[in-house]
């Protein structure tokens, strides 16, 4: 009994540590990735500047993936991993992985060749997790390759029901007697003594993710050079009548004139949202740096939408949410949680508290803007008795003093 309690306490402590670490790392990444996305759509940048911004964005996303690996391992071990299995076009996902890793490969003069055999066009998998596995395998093929080497990525039918995706490098290879150690946590087979970056958990996650998608993973190598990592996944049959729509660039939806309140203690995050909402001149953005002021502004302006950080000093976002819901003036205002807390229990706790949506930092701007548009277009953002357009003055000295809140 005592051993069980100690194990549960250790698991809780690990979960708390991972949640805290994720939050602390995601907060600065929110500014890095957010402003990179803002700059990417700046038409005043020249080609070199645009390429530099894209490199910042790509590198930031890669760092975010490394952070997510730690959390993924915890989710997998606890059985809380959620997958969305669907038909995945291999040409698209492999091209995306190749583009993501191209700057690193070019820096080491490594060439990459991708080929798909007849019939090996699509698999049944989770898009995000499949890309995560492939990026990890291809990234390893770059890191452990020789300068001027080659990477070959191929997809072919393993049998009638499965497709094998192979990633082959021209590196030093792995001794046969050490292949069995590859898929154990934190074992880098001696690479920890080199300048090659890594955590020693990437392959473990690849194995568990692949198996969770009803697949399997393996490796073939020789100590005299060259290594091939492969995964096998169920084939997705092509249905000619099920062609999907052609993806189009995101366009802003027409939203009504409204006031949006953002409660956030981080100045960089406030500026990011300010810039993101600048494309909607009909939206007035008002800002609060702490929960107490946020509550006052919510009562004074009765905004059409509230964006609320969760981890703030003093009164946190969940406390602010509880008070908003307890007040008849503010209880019907839709609220979006914008937080660096990425554990599933954080999301579930927020949803139980009444948040309409939960956006995890670093913010993905298209996702963020879509959520804002969706909630501002709701016909029942407030109960009829609480309706207030943003052109109507709010009463009291606080409302008068803040009626000139910055336009988004």
Evaluated on CA atoms 39, 42, 44, 48, the torsion sign reads: positive
Determine contact, residues 179/140, Cβ cutoff 8 Å: no
Gyration radius from the chain CA atoms: 25
Cα(153)–Cα(158) distance, integer angstroms:
15
Q: Which two tokens stand for residue 199?
A: 């955590």
Lowest mean pLDDT among 3-17, 76-90, 167-181, 204-218: 3-17
User: pLDDT band at 389, cuts 50/70/90?
Assistant: very low
Q: Are strands 162-169 and 150-157 parallel, antiparallel or unpaired?
A: antiparallel
Lowest mean pLDDT among 89-103, 109-123, 236-250, 251-265: 236-250
Does residue 69 register a pLDDT over 50? yes
Q: Are strands 216-221 and 162-169 parallel, antiparallel or unpaired?
A: unpaired
Residue that wins the pLDDT comparison between 325 and 400: 325
Does residue 4 register a pLDDT over 80? no
Q: Which two tokens stand for residue 62?
A: 């890669």
Cα(301)–Cα(291) distance, integer angstroms:
15
Element (H, E) at 368: helix 365-376
Q: Which residues contact 145 (CB under 8 A, 6 or more apart)?
A: 108, 110, 151, 169, 170, 171
Cα(33)–Cα(121) distance, integer angstroms:
32
Phi first, then psi, for residue 260 (nearest 5°) are -120, 130
Q: Which two tokens stand for residue 86?
A: 């669907």
How many helices and strands in the chain, by DSSP H and E? Answer: 11, 12
- Laid out side by side, the sheet with 216-221 consists of 111-116, 150-157, 162-169, 227-234, 216-221
pTM for the predicted model, two decimal places: 0.50
Element (H, E) at 336: strand 335-339
What's the pLDDT score for residue 384? 32
Spacing of C-alpha 304 from chain mean position: 27
Write down the domain spans for the chain: 11-78, 85-187+199-238, 258-402
What's the pLDDT score for residue 188? 45
- 258-305 pLDDT tens trace: 999 999 988 888 888 998 898 899 999 999 989 999 999 999 999 999
Cα(252)–Cα(254) distance, integer angstroms:
7
Give the mean pLDDT of the chain.
Answer: 79
Q: What average pLDDT score do residues 127-143 get?
A: 89
User: pLDDT band at 407, cuts 50/70/90?
Assistant: very low
What's the pLDDT score for residue 397? 31
Residue that wins the pLDDT comparison between 134 and 185: 134
From 40, 43, 22, select the one nearest 32 (Cα to Cα).
40
User: pLDDT band at 19, cuts 50/70/90?
Assistant: low
Cα(373)–Cα(253) distance, integer angstroms:
7
Does residue 53 register a pLDDT over 90? no
- Laid out side by side, the sheet with 305-308 consists of 283-288, 258-263, 305-308, 335-339, 357-360
User: pLDDT band at 77, cuts 50/70/90?
Assistant: low
3-state secondary structure of 358: strand
Lowest mean pLDDT among 18-32, 69-83, 94-108, 156-170: 69-83
Packing angle between helix 365-376 and helix 2-40, nearest 10 degrees? 90
From 180, 106, 119, select the one nearest 145 (Cα to Cα).
106
- 146-205 pLDDT tens trace: 899 999 999 999 999 999 999 999 988 887 777 777 776 545 454 444 444 444 577 888
- 315-336 pLDDT tens trace: 899 999 999 999 999 999 999 9
What's the pLDDT score for residue 400? 31
Does residue 395 register a pLDDT over 70? no
152: β partners: 113, 168
Query: From 3.40.190.10, 1.10.600.10, 3.90.1150.10, 3.40.50.2300, which CATH number describes the 258-402 domain?
Result: 3.40.50.2300
What's the pLDDT score for residue 196? 46
Greatest mean pLDDT among 4-13, 100-109, 255-264 lies in 255-264
Cα(206)–Cα(76) distance, integer angstroms:
11
85-187+199-238 fold: Heat Shock Protein 90 (3.30.565)
261: β partners: 286, 306
Determine contact, residues 312/293, Cβ cutoff 8 Å: no
């Amino acid at each position: 009994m005592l051993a069980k309690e100690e194990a549960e306490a250790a698991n809780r402590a690990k979960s708390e540590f991972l949640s805290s670490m994720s939050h602390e790392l995601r907060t600065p990444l929110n500014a890095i990735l957010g402003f990179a996305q803002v700059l990417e759509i700046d038409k005043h940048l020249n080609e070199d500047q645009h390429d530099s911004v894209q490199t910042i964005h790509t590198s930031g996303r890669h760092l975010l993936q490394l952070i997510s690996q730690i959390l993924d391992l915890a989710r997998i071990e606890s059985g809380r991993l959620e997958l969305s299995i669907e038909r995945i076009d291999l040409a698209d996902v492999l091209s995306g992985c190749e583009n993501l890793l191209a700057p690193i490969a070019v820096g080491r003069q490594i060439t990459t060749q991708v080929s798909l055999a007849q019939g090996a066009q699509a698999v049944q998998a989770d898009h995000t997790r499949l890309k995560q596995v492939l990026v990890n395998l291809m990234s390893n093929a770059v890191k452990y390759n020789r300068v001027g080497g080659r990477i070959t990525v191929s997809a072919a039918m393993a049998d009638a029901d499965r497709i094998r995706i192979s990633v082959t490098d021209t590196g030093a290879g792995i001794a046969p007697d050490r292949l069995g150690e590859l898929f154990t946590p934190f074992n880098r087979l001696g690479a920890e003594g080199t300048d090659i970056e890594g955590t020693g958990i990437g392959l473990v996650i690849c194995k568990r993710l692949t198996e969770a998608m009803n697949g399997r993973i393996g490796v073939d190598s020789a100590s005299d050079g060259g290594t091939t990592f492969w995964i096998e996944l169920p084939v997705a049959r092509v249905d000619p009548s099920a062609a999907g729509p052609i993806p189009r660039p995101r366009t802003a939806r027409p939203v009504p004139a409204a006031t949006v309140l953002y409660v956030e203690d981080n100045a960089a995050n406030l500026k990011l949202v300010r810039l993101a909402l600048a494309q909607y001149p009909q939206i007035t953005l008002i800002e609060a740096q702490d929960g107490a002021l946020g509550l006052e502004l919510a009562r004074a302006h009765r905004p059409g939408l509230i964006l609320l950080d969760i981890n703030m000093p003093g009164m946190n976002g969940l406390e602010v949410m509880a008070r908003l819901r307890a007040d008849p003036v503010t209880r019907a205002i839709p609220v979006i949680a914008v937080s660096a807390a990425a554990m599933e229990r954080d999301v579930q706790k927020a949803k139980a508290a009444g948040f309409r949506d939960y956006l995890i930092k670093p913010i993905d701007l298209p996702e963020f803007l879509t959520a804002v548009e969706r909630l501002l277009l709701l016909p029942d953002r407030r109960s009829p008795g609480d309706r207030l357009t943003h052109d109507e003055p709010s009463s009291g000295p606080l409302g008068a003093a803040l009626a000139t809140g910055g336009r988004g």
